[in-house]
Amino acid sequence: MKSNQYIYNVNYNVQDYNLCAFEARALFDDELEDKVLFTDKEVEPSVSPFLKNRIKIIYKEKTFNGILELIIEDGFKANDFMVKYVPMYNRDPNIGQGKKLSKEVGLRIYGYPSFKSPKIMLGITYYQGYWYFGYLKQNNYEWRSHKQKPYSFSSALGVNIAKVLINVASGGDTSKRLVDACCGVGTVILEGVFAGYDICGWEISPKVAEFACLNVAHYQYNAKIVTGDMKDIEEYYDAVIIDLPYNNFSHYDEEKQWNIIKHAKHIANRMIIVTATNIEEKLYEEQLKIIDYCRAEKTIKGDFTRYIWICEN
């Protein structure tokens, strides 16, 4: 059987379940009942902290031999290819046989394999009674180097939350123009640039803005960081991300926070607001439509809770 779907698998630590499910809803409109999901949507796994593998399904069959037969029947061709068995879940009965299965598939493909620098990655997997074969894309985890950015401060977000903010702001559409209106040391900016977005950051504190610029330069990324009050933003964006300054850190009073949100309404229709407390009632008072929300923890101890609100005007 031929197919045009994608199969993805995700992985997360217990404290990240909410965040992972929140991201899956924004990217795939999927409720994530399992760690494996099927969709028509193509998303690069490396933009997510949770997506591990993506296979663009070419064949789906009840038996492994059925897949081999289709490869032969179609005279499937590829050059500089490599085949990998990709377990989609922990109790996959074929774990341990991956090399043998990949070899069986590789032997039936017309063309030269490459084990050192393959240009085409092919994946084979088994899930809930079916075998799948197709083009494989894996998370490269290069973004993990951002955890060691040179400048940080205690209220900076974790990389996982930062990546999810980009994905929920854009729905995975890299053509969207984004702004991080209170960008701090640029944690979210790094993830935006990494994923290929046109993203700009604003930061009121000159010192902190300088740290954001140095962080961006450290990875040789290109992003505009403006030192200034977000109230001076005049451009209109597809989405604005606001990680609100917190009372316990900047002594910002509530009114100042709400002024930031009020101004953000004029910058973009879609607003992603990060807060340390539950502000649901206030958002309704401001007549903002809450599209979705998530309570995320940065650590397993739960000592850095953040609420993420997706709102629209």
Ligand X SMILES: C[S@@+](CC[C@H](N)C(=O)[O-])C[C@H]1O[C@@H](n2cnc3c(N)ncnc32)[C@H](O)[C@@H]1O
Q: In what order do the strands lie in the sheet with 224-227?
A: 224-227, 198-203, 177-180, 237-243, 268-275, 305-312, 289-297
Among 179, 182, 261, 311, binds ligand X (CB under 6 A): 182
List of residues 6+ apart from 143 with CB closer than 8 A: 46, 49, 159, 163, 190, 191, 194
Rule CB under 6 A: choose which of 16, 23, 191, 203 binds ligand X: 203
Angle at which helix 98-107 crosses helix 64-74, to 10 degrees, equals 20
CA–CA dist 246, 26 (Å, integer): 26
Pick one of 48, 187, 199, 238: the residue that binds ligand X (CB under 6 A): 187
Nearest residue (CB) to ligand X, 54 versus 298: 298
Residue 188 binding ligand X, by CB under 6 A: yes
Q: Which is nearer to ligand X, 17 or 252 (CB)?
A: 252
Compose the 241-280 pattern: x for residues touching ligand X by CB under 6 A, - for all others. Answer: --x-xx---x---------x--------------------
What is the distance between the alpha carbons of residues 226 and 189, in angstroms, rounded to a whole number?
Answer: 12
239 binds ligand X (CB under 6 A): no
Cβ closest to ligand X, residue 2 vs residue 207: 207
Q: How far is the CB of 205 from ligand X (least distance, A)?
A: 4
At 243 the three-state DSSP class reads: strand
Rg of the chain, C-alpha, whole Å: 22
**20 close to 308: Cβ distance less than 8 angstroms:** no
The first and second tokens of residue 19, run together, are 């965040």
CA distance 185 to 9: 31
- Residue 204 found at the interface with ligand X (CB under 6 A): yes
Residues 57, 67, 78, 185: which binds ligand X (CB under 6 A)?
A: 185
Q: Tell me the number of residues near ligand X by CB under 6 A.
A: 21
Binding flag, residue 205, ligand X (CB under 6 A): yes
CB atoms within 10 A of CB 248: 10
Please count the other Cβ atoms lying within 10 Å of the Cβ belonging to residue 107. 11
Member of 12, 50, 194, 202 binding ligand X (CB under 6 A): 202
User: Sign of the C-alpha dihedral, residues 154, 176, 4, 40?
Assistant: positive
Q: Does 11 bind ligand X (CB under 6 A)?
A: no
Q: Which residue type sits at 225? A: I
CB 181, CB 270: distance < 8 Å: no
Binds ligand X (CB under 6 A): choice among 124, 208, 296, 310: 208
Stretch that binds ligand X, among 185-193, 264-272, 279-287, 304-312 (CB under 6 A): 185-193
Question: How far apart are CB 156 and ligand X at their closest, in Å?
Answer: 4
Among 54, 184, 195, 271, binds ligand X (CB under 6 A): 184
Structure token pair of residue 186: 């640029």
21-29, 89-97, 132-140, 196-204 -> range binding ligand X (CB under 6 A): 196-204
Does 8 bind ligand X (CB under 6 A)? Our answer is no
Residues that bind ligand X (CB under 6 A): 155-157, 182-185, 187-188, 202-205, 208, 229-230, 243, 245-246, 250, 260
